[in-house]
Chains A and B, each alone.
Chain A
Amino acid sequence: SYVLTQAPSVSVAPGKTARITCGGDNIGGKSVHWYQQKPGQAPVLVIHYDTDRASGIPDRFSGSNSGNTATLTIGRVEAGDEADYFCQVWDSTSDHQVFGGGTKLTVL
């Protein structure tokens, strides 16, 4: 089955840029979606189709996808961005949706 690999944690100072990666075999050939989940809350779609911001998401959030790595970039990080972030793709071989293990973003 298709595996998406995310680092367990990323730390960044307020006002700096955070980069959260999602690794997978030729993930650049797939559509990658990113979700933000704060403690005790449901996930929220932030980036879909690799680069498109979901409705209501500030332009500090951006995405890219190439080769074996997709990246969620958060510019001018704020305390409110502290959350878990998950990537997701469709695995055509199994016809299953697949999530990465998630990355906890800590704002120092």
Chain B
Amino acid sequence: EVRLVESGGGKVQPGGSLRLSCAASGFKFNNYWMHWVRQAPGKGLVWVSRINGEGTTTTYADSVKGRFTISRDNAKDTLYLQMNSLRAEDTAVYYCARFQGGGSSDAFDIWGQGIMVTVSS
């Protein structure tokens, strides 16, 4: 079964850091671009970041650039999101998602269950 499972969420104070993990199973992890997408409570989906299969190319939304770092460990079939200098507006459910193809116009075909991150004092 193809599966993505996020972990590492929780409550953190403004200015703090948190690292999210996403464990993949059931598919050849290093063949796929992987993304993070977030959803603030009661709001829509917002794309956060992406990384290619080799882990050599990354892209970030302007709202997180310079604060968040996406990475992957293909030996462990795991995707990461290091989040620093967290702000209240980063409060959201964070989803990892598999990109179905090698092109930029493809879709997210597999999603994790999501993990809540709360930034509050």
Contact = CB atoms under 8 A, between A and B. Distances in A.
B47 A96 contact: yes
Interface in A55-108: 86, 88-90, 92, 95-102
Given A48-B100, A90-B105, A97-B35, A42 B47 contact: no
Interface stretch (B9-17, B74-82, B111-119): B111-119
Nearest to A37: B45
B108 interface: yes
Contacts of B46: 99
B59 interface: yes
Interface residues of A, number: 25
Nearest to A84: B44
Interface string B97-115: 0001000111111011110
A31 interface: yes
Chain A, interface SS category: strand
Nearest to B59: A95
B72 interface: no
A99 B47 contact: yes
B114 A95 contact: no
A43 B47 contact: no
* B95, B106, B107, B108 — most chain A CB neighbours (10 Å): B107
Contacts of B88: none
Given A31-B107, A43-B111, 10 more contacts: A37-B45, A42-B113, A43-B45, A43-B95, A48-B107, A88-B108, A97-B37, A97-B47, A100-B44, A102-B45
22 contacts: A31-B106, A33-B107, A33-B108, A35-B108, A42-B111, A42-B113, A43-B95, A45-B108, A48-B106, A48-B107, A49-B107, A54-B107, A54-B109, A86-B45, A88-B45, A90-B105, A95-B104, A97-B37, A97-B50, A99-B47, A101-B44, A102-B44
